[in-house]
Chain A
Amino acid sequence: MTSSLELRGVSYSHPGAPARTLDAVSLQVASGEMLAVLGPSGSGKTTLLRLTAGLVTPAEGDVFVGGRSVLAEPPERRGLTMMFQQPHLFPHLDVLGNVAFADVVSGVPRRAARERAQRFLDLVHLRDLARRRPRELSGGQEQRVALARALAARPEVLLLDEPFSALDPELRSAMHDLLLEVRAMLEPTTLIVTHDLAEAALADRVAVVVDGRIEQVGPVDDLYREPATLTVARLVGGFTEVPGRLSGGVHSSVLGAVEVRGSRHGQPADGPAALLVRQESVEVVPAADARTGATGIVGRLSRSGARLVAHVEVAACSGHPGVTVRAELPPGRRVAPGARVGLLVAAACACVQAPTPQPAGTAGLATFSQSSEAPSGGTSAR
């Protein structure tokens, strides 16, 4: 049984915190849909989940499960279940007893509950571990049992609070596969909180939360193609913000004049604006190449997965400030630091107006996994 989930205008302040942890957040998750809430630590995303679960009470707003307000209900009567960062298996129960927990507390006879639990244990491929004690399991097995236990509660909505972040990368991707498998079979409505872009990509849609506000909601591809704000672009990473001026749909900067297509997030007004250029869409060519719009000096090289990224310093010219452009090199291609090269911008991203000057030290842009440098100071609360 799955239901839709809706948060409507939810606000929350941690006691003593100067800023709101969550500020008028609204989200809708359709029945059977999986929505990821993506944000740096301290963005309020875990609070969002705990508030949905009923473990904290919002100052304003309402929470609906299947169209019914559950704000007045205690956590256990909201039709939700939650997987925490830690598996939190009950140490005094064996694996099957853990998975059967929800049925047992709801009054199902122990034997029947354990029989049902066995089916969910099969689902997470741990059929043979039924009699084990939690302390005899590995970390990955513990989270599998926790997932089986959550599913056995047959929730209307499944809440996942970075449940795989403590696992090593290999186990994490195995858990991601398992999650997809389970989704295909049971289609639970799922709200997952994560700071990992790859994990968010498992979801149908992603909501980016920064400083307690939703910056963007949409498929994960949109975050790369059309980040709604500079903040989102900086968190996604891999963009160069080229300062310049926008005038009549043309952005002019040290890279020359670039025609900017409008985005679904709206075309910014004429004036100072940053052009967002993805590192994959910049080609490094010889400086003498006739097609090149700008030349620069290769500063340093960094690595992005299998590929090298050249950081090309383009000097200020004709009133436009200089900028360091990130350009991803094709596999096997190398350029020497100090060399003068030309840059070809294949397709610029939607132009985004600069609301704040870029903070110092973000030349190598922050990504979600290491986003301690969120643009404004932010709150230390979760």
Chain B
Amino acid sequence: MRASTVAARLATAALVAWFGMPFVPLVVWAFADRWTWPSTLPQQWGLRGWASIGQDAMLPALARSAVLGALVAAVATPLGALAGRALGWRLAAHPGPPTLLLLAPVALPPFAIAMGVDSVLLRARIPGTLALVLVLAVFALPYTTAVFRSAYTGLDPELEHQARMLGASARQAFGRATLPALLPAAGAAVALAFLVGWSDYIVTVVVGGGQYVTAPVLVASAASGPGNEPTVAAYALLTILPLLAAIAAVAGLTSTRRGRVRREGEPA
């Protein structure tokens, strides 16, 4: 085996360990009824943590998180598609400023933005839940824009013209030529925007004012109390599962897209 291969495998193993390590105590805690220091493993295994979930507020909170994620995706995906089309096809005369503006929510501290936007929304008398969705959509927009931007960059605008030249109206050309080519990117954008809403804590607390109890809010408040470790661990695992599913979906869709890009790279 070549040295470079060995190095690559070692690096992969290190990365897997780095990302996987935090889940190990989480999984152990989720099935530990009693685990006190200095014992290496729990003294008593059990499902106490999971039992509390059914009777608790967790399931409604998870549902609320899912709705929030879906609403954020519904707002941020079409906006990201428009921005990505303008940037990917270089329709803007000066793409620099809008790009910076679109990246700002990622570059700036979320707490500062959440506080600032919250006071604006309060004065504008926008209802709390709507405000929450809008602010989170702002945070999701950089991701959806980036995904659509790269998709549009790889998509020849002439494809739409070609459809027009075969008798398609402007609307048909978009629906039958551009949209199908963008579907993988759209899936990735929806998944990313959903995750922003699904996993948010800071904005939900600041803008929602504690009224809107989502899964991360519940986990955080449970974690602040002592003796709740098995419950918190079970909550945490539960919130991660859809997240992992979404990541897997994104990865699957991205690999499909890569297949298409490779075709374009072939000699004509």
Contact = CB atoms under 8 A, between A and B. Distances in A.
Interface stretch (A87-95, A205-213, A222-230, A297-305): A87-95
A91 B181 contact: yes
Interface of B is mostly: helix
B158 A86 contact: yes
B180 A153 contact: no
Interface residues of B, number: 26
A300 to B, nearest CB: 35
Q: Point out which of B156, B162, B176, B267 has the most chain A C-beta atoms below 10 A from its C-beta.
A: B162
Interface of A is mostly: mixed
Q: Point out which of A55, A104, A105, A153 has the most chain B C-beta atoms below 10 A from its C-beta.
A: A105
B158 A92 contact: no
B158 A90 contact: no
Contact of B162 (A84, A104, A139, A166): A84
B170 A90 contact: no
Contacts of A149: 166
B41 interface: no
Contacts of A90: 159, 163, 176-177, 180-181
A376 interface: no
Contacts of A150: 165-166
B162 A76 contact: no
B181 A81 contact: no
A248 interface: no
Interface in A75-114: 75-76, 80-82, 84, 86, 88, 90-92, 101-102, 104-106
A139 B263 CA distance: 11
A86 B176 contact: no
Contact of B166 (A105, A134, A139, A159): A105
A76 B168 CA distance: 6
A170 to B, nearest CB: 14
Nearest to B176: A105
Contact of A82 (B165, B170, B267): B165
Contacts of B180: 90-92
Contact of A88 (B159, B167, B183, B260): B159
14 contacts: A53-B165, A55-B164, A76-B165, A76-B166, A76-B168, A88-B156, A90-B163, A92-B181, A102-B166, A105-B167, A106-B167, A135-B260, A153-B166, A166-B268
Interface of B: 156, 158-159, 161-170, 172, 176-177, 180-181, 183, 259-260, 262-263, 266-268
Given A84-B158, A106-B167, 11 more contacts: A76-B166, A80-B165, A88-B156, A88-B158, A102-B166, A104-B176, A105-B163, A105-B166, A139-B268, A150-B165, A153-B166
